Amino acid sequence: MMFLNESLTITNPGFEAPVTGTLDPAKIQVTNYKLKPGEWINYNIPGWESDTQRVGVFNPTKAQFAGQVIEGNNFAYNNEGTISQILPYRIIKGYTYVLLTDVMFRSNLSNFLGGKIQLWADSLLLGEQDIPLMVPGQKVTIMTPPYVAVADGGNIEIRLISNGIQMNFDNIEVLAEPSSVEETKIPWYLPVGIGAFILIMLLRR
């Protein structure tokens, strides 16, 4: 059973796992390598799938996100298409689910085209949230609207989407809560709005 405020287990949710593949900008092959600032690996994101090769893992320099604090050292970059992961959890009737992620737009990029995050269960879209208009160097935290499962269903899938300009994703979470909680407990999800956002941010500290 899942309990109040449970964060479902995601493989490599902060993209900190050692990487294997062609290291840039050095253009050398590495195995189980820990990225240093300014280095990135193309396509191979441990634990994640993609429908394009224009994705990877990046360890940014401080100048690329001046004044912003990121979780860990790395994030996933997505220049176009979808990064996805299917979780070993099926949706359960009566449970509420949301997807939560940090999104960043690099300081040295322009022409913001946006993207979105989505939560699926097999072919059923549980929720999606567009990435809001961002300025270079900005970081935001977004979440999908709460989805209450009306029936048991398929495996949960995360999708992180870019519309054609590099978007950077980090600190991925899927939260689940049974609807029949004790009245003395305040649920972590509230009507979508300012109150919900503030509460979710507090839970992530």
Structure confidence at residue 65 (pLDDT) = 75
Model-level pTM?
Answer: 0.83
Instruction: Count other C-beta atoms under 10 Å from residue 134's C-beta.
Output: 16
- Taking only the tens place, the pLDDT of each residue in 128-178 is 999 999 988 889 999 999 999 999 999 999 999 999 889 999 999 999 999
Evaluate if residue 190 carries a pLDDT over 70: no
Closest CA to 26 of 16, 14, 11, 41: 41
Does position 197 have pLDDT exceeding 90, yes or no? no
pLDDT at residue 181 is higher than 50: no
The model's pLDDT over 27-66, given as tens digits with 9 standing for 90+, comes to 999 999 999 999 999 988 999 999 998 999 999 888 877 6
What is the per-residue DSSP string for 72-109?
A: SS-EEEESSEEEEEEEEEE--TTEEEEEEEEEE--TT-
Mean of pLDDT over the chain: 86
